[in-house]
C-alpha cells in the first residue's frame, strides 16, 4: 500500500457522514446458502452430519460424537501445562476473572428481579425473572485462540445462575484443543465441551441430536458461517447477536497523542481485513501526525515480532477500512460517531466525561488517553462481546440480563374481573375475537 493513499476526509455536516457510512456489512448470499445446507443436513442427520463437516473443515477424523467430546483427563493435562509453564498467563487470567466477576455482580444488583404490585383491590401484577436453564458458548479458534471470550461469556452466565453451559470450539492439529482454552475451561468449571465448529456446531446445539441436548440460547462470536448459522436458527433458539467485523471510532482533540491513536487504530485492524478503524477529530495536525504514526508503528511492530505480526492483513485493513476524519468541532465529531454507532468508542479529549454527554451510540466506551480498547478486551471487567455493524443504536453489550428470561404474572379475583369484564368484552368484540369475549363473559353471570 502506498503510504500517501491514506487521506484526511473533511466532514462539515452530518449529511456527509450519513453518505460516507451508509453501507453496512452484510452476509453474502452464497454464505447463507452454504449455512442453510449444513443446517438442514444436521437437522436430518444430527451428530453424523455435524461430524462430517467438522472433519472436513477442521482436518479432524472423528468417527463418533464421543470422539469429539473433550474428556476430563484432556482438560486436566492442558490445565497442568499452563499452570506449570505460563505463570504470567495464570496471573493475568486470575485478574481478568476477578474484574469481570466484580463488574457483572454489580450489574446484577441493578437488574430487576421478581416483583409484584397491586394496582387495584383484587389484582396483582408482576414479573418473574429466572435464568435460562441451558446455553451454548461458541469459542472461535481459527487464526487465533480467544480465552478472553470464554471468560466474557461464561462469567456473566454463572453470575446469572445458568445451570448448564455447553461449549463448542474448533479443534486443531488433528483433533487437539489449545492448552490455554483447556486451562480456562477447568478454571471456570466447564465440563461439557465439544470439538465442533462452524455452522454445523450451531445447528447441532440449536436442534440437538442423539446424544447432544439442544440448548435454549447460543452465545459467542465466530466466523461468517457461524454468524449466518446463528441468523438462520434464531427463533428456534435465542442468540446473543450477529457479530460483524470489529470496529473502533476515536473522538480526539488537539490534546490527544497521535502515537496512542495510531496504536489503537492498528489494534482493531489486526482482527480482520474487514475491521474498521476510524479517527474523528477537529484538528488537522493531529490527523496528519496520526497517519504518519500508523505506518511507523506497522514497521516497528513488524521489526519486533517478524512473521508473528500479520502485517499484510493489517495493511489491507488500513487501506480498505481506515478513515481519518476532520470535523469543525468536537460536537460534530460526536454526531459523526453516533451515525457510525461503533462497537468500540474511545474518547481522547481534554475533558472526556464532558464529551461523553454529546454521545448517544457506542457499544463500549473508553474514556481518556490511558484506556485503550485492549483494557476492555482482557482485564477491565466490562464485557467485550459488544454490538457491531451499527447495531449499538438499539442493542447493548453482553451482560447478566442476556442470561435471564422474564415471565409476566397476572392475578384477578372475582371482584376485579367483575369490575372490568365489560371493557374486556368490548375490546374482544371490536377485534371479532368472540371466543375471547366468551371466556370472560362465562365467568361473570348476568344479574
Residues 6+ apart with CB under 8 A from 256: 281, 286, 348, 349, 369
**Residues 101/112, Cβ–Cβ less than 8 Å:** no
* Separation of alpha carbons 35 and 198, rounded Å: 9
8-state DSSP, 261: H
Residues 354, 382, 170, 72, Cα dihedral to 10°: 170
**Residues 132/21, Cβ–Cβ less than 8 Å:** no
Report, as residue numbers or ranges, the catalytic residues: 343-344
Identify the three-state secondary structure at position 33: helix
8-state DSSP, 214: P
* Separation of alpha carbons 269 and 298, rounded Å: 11
Calculate the alpha carbon distances from 424 to 12, 265, 415, 421 in Å. 55, 58, 14, 5
Residues 6+ apart with CB under 8 A from 133: 162, 163, 164, 216
Cell numbers placing 435: 371466543
* Separation of alpha carbons 343 and 391, rounded Å: 8
Number of Cβ within 10 Å of residue 196's Cβ equals 31
**Residues 207/237, Cβ–Cβ less than 8 Å:** no
* Separation of alpha carbons 114 and 102, rounded Å: 22
8-state DSSP, 197: -
Which of 87, 412, 237, 230 is closest to 423 using CA atoms? 412
Calculate the alpha carbon distances from 22 to 116, 164, 215, 268, 405 in Å. 45, 41, 36, 21, 34
Amino acid at each position: 500500500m502506498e503510504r500517501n493513499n491514506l487521506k484526511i476526509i473533511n466532514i462539515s455536516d452530518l449529511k456527509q457522514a450519513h453518505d460516507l457510512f451508509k453501507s453496512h456489512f452484510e452476509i453474502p448470499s452464497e454464505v447463507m446458502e452454504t449455512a442453510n445446507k449444513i443446517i438442514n443436513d444436521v437437522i436430518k442427520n444430527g451428530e453424523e452430519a455435524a461430524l462430517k463437516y467438522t472433519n472436513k473443515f477442521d482436518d479432524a477424523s472423528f468417527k463418533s460424537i464421543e470422539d469429539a467430546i473433550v474428556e476430563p483427563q484432556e482438560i486436566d493435562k492442558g490445565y497442568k501445562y499452563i499452570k506449570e509453564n505460563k505463570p504470567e498467563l495464570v496471573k493475568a487470567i486470575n485478574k481478568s476473572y476477578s474484574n469481570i466477576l466484580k463488574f457483572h455482580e454489580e450489574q446484577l444488583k441493578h437488574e430487576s428481579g421478581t416483583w409484584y404490585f397491586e394496582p387495584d383491590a383484587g389484582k396483582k401484577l408482576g414479573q418473574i425473572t429466572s435464568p435460562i436453564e441451558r446455553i451454548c458458548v461458541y469459542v472461535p479458534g481459527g487464526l487465533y485462540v480467544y480465552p478472553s471470550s470464554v471468560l466474557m461469556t461464561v462469567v456473566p452466565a454463572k453470575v446469572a445462575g445458568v445451570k448448564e453451559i455447553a461449549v463448542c470450539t474448533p479443534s486443531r492439529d488433528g483433533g487437539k484443543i489449545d492448552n490455554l482454552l483447556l486451562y480456562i475451561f477447568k478454571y471456570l468449571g466447564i465440563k461439557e465441551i465439544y470439538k465442533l465448529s462452524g455452522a454445523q456446531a450451531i445447528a447441532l446445539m440449536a436442534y440437538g441430536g442423539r446424544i447432544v441436548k439442544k440448548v435454549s440460547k447460543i452465545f459467542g462470536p465466530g466466523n461468517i458461517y457461524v454468524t449466518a448459522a446463528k441468523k438462520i436458527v434464531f427463533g428456534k433458539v435465542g442468540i446473543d447477536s450477529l457479530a460483524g467485523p470489529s470496529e473502533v471510532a476515536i473522538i480526539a482533540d488537539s490534546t490527544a497523542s497521535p502515537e496512542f491513536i495510531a496504536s489503537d487504530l492498528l489494534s482493531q485492524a489486526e482482527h480482520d481485513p474487514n475491521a474498521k478503524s476510524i479517527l474523528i477529530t477537529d484538528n488537522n495536525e493531529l490527523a496528519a501526525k496520526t497517519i504518519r504514526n500508523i505506518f511507523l508503528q506497522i514497521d516497528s511492530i513488524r521489526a519486533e515480532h517478524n512473521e508473528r505480526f500479520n502485517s499484510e492483513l493489517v495493511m489491507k485493513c488500513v487501506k480498505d477500512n481506515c478513515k481519518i476524519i476532520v470535523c469543525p468541532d468536537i460536537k460534530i465529531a460526536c454526531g459523526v460517531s453516533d451515525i457510525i454507532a461503533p462497537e468500540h468508542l474511545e474518547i481522547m479529549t481534554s475533558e472526556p466525561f464532558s464529551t461523553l454527554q454529546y454521545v448517544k451510540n457506542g457499544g463500549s466506551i473508553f474514556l481518556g488517553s490511558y484506556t485503550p480498547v485492549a483494557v476492555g478486551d482482557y482485564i477491565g471487567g466490562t464485557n467485550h462481546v459488544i454490538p457491531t455493524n451499527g447495531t449499538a443504536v438499539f442493542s447493548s453489550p453482553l451482560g447478566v440480563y442476556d442470561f435471564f428470561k422474564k415471565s409476566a404474572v397476572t392475578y384477578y379475583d372475582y371482584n376485579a374481573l367483575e369490575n372490568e369484564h365489560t371493557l374486556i368484552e368490548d375490546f374482544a368484540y371490536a377485534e371479532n375475537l368472540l371466543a375471547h369475549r366468551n371466556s370472560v363473559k362465562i365467568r361473570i353471570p348476568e344479574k
